[in-house]
Structure 1
Amino acid sequence: MRTPHVVVVMGVAGTGKTTIGPLLAARLGVPYAEGDDFHPQANIAKMSAGTPLDDDDRWPWLDAIGAWAHGRAGLGGVVSSSALKRSYRDRLRAAAPDIVFVHLTGDRALIEDRMAHRQGHFMPTALLDSQFATLQPLQPDETGVAVDVSGTPEEITERALAALDGLEQTAPQTS
């Protein structure tokens, strides 16, 4: 991408947001912010206990991410956020209208396997079903791309960059 946008790397838990986000930011030459770092401790405790967050839990978290994105407007940046519902993405766009979404997608079995093998993360595999139940994929009127998470982190990052370049050259769409 030639224009410095703020890119939100989104998707259900285990898709690799925390892995792909920094790689994407490095390739774009912009800062990366880990979305989990914006959660208040109460949210982390709730998820660690296997309890899904509700919208009231998520609004302050989304507002904090939106404030970071707003501060990066015109400068560019990459931030991770599950952004599972359209209403969550709308809230982020209200704070930073030029946000572009990279929706990491993949086979549920692959994502569950990756979650089961990761170390030191508070999100248990037991919450994956609630994540998929909540997920509302990007709609045609949302600026963003869908990127498959099969393959290596480098391959996924390359696919994301190619898809973002395609957005830059065409009208906003999902791919």
Structure 2
Amino acid sequence: MTGHGTGPAASDARVLIVMGVSGSGKSTVAALIAERLGWTFIDGDSFHSPENVAKMHAGHALDDTDRAPWLARIGAWIQARLEAGESAVVVCSALRRAYRDSLTHGSRRVRLVYLEGDRALIAGRLAERHGHFMSPLLLESQFATLEAPGPDEHPITVGIADPPAVIAERVVACLEADSGANR
């Protein structure tokens, strides 16, 4: 975790959920966004149980029973940030609408940032990644599970072909444009 980014009132606090399949660059982009905005950052992977990590490392996909306590911990963290008036960025694959709904609870103060990319690009990235618990063998299950956010979820959707710093700047620019439009 880094930064605090507390606002003048709890109602000013916002949380971004940077989502997408494994290998889309969520952690890197989210950390850059948080740094640029001066907001708290945490990787949702840190909320996984040791059992979930071991299961994924072994190449087995998590099921909804495995995910439920993990999502509950992330959701509680998001709610605590909002209640404390602290803006933050959290990484979470949030592949299904139901998962996102359990994290956002319909709050407009929680915003999705969807990192969108194709299988070939992401598979290439995963093949080069070492030391991560998420097995590259799980990419197909990630895409099979993925329900891209719909317009009613008001996501910021960004392609992942550009360098992470460019992607992060696009997200920040979108947030700043949205803030200006809401004044």
TM-score (norm 1): 0.91
- 1:5 corresponds in structure 2 to 14
- 1:41 corresponds in structure 2 to 50
Q: CA deviation at 1:169?
A: 4.2
Structure with bigger gyration radius? 2
1:63 matched to 2:72: yes
Q: Deviations over 1:19-63 (max 9, x none)?
A: 111111011111101110000011001101111000111010001
Separation in 2, partners of 1:134, 1:72: 28
Q: Deviations over 1:78-123 (max 9, x none)?
A: 0000000000000001296621010001121111111111121011
1:157 matched to 2:168: yes
Q: CA deviation at 1:162?
A: 2.0
Instruction: Check the 8 A contact 1:69/1:96 in 2, yes or no.
Output: no
State the identity %.
48
Instruction: Check the 8 A contact 2:40/2:86 in 1, yes or no.
Output: no
- Of the candidates 25, 32, 41, which is equivalent to residue 32 of structure 1? 41
Distance 1:110 1:27, change over 3 A: same
- CA RMSD in angstroms comes to 1.8
Q: CA deviation at 1:167?
A: 3.3
1:86 matched to 2:97: yes
Separation in 2, partners of 1:142, 1:136: 12
Instruction: Check the 8 A contact 2:18/2:91 in 1, yes or no.
Output: yes
SS at match of 1:141: helix
Q: Which consecutive residues of structure 2, in runs of 5 or more, have no partner in the other structure?
A: 1-6
Summarize the alignment of residues 4-153 of structure 1 with structure 2, pairs less than 5 Å apart.
Answer: 4-73=13-82, 74-94=85-105, 98-153=109-164
Q: CA deviation at 1:18?
A: 1.1
TM-score (norm 2): 0.87
SS at match of 1:146: strand
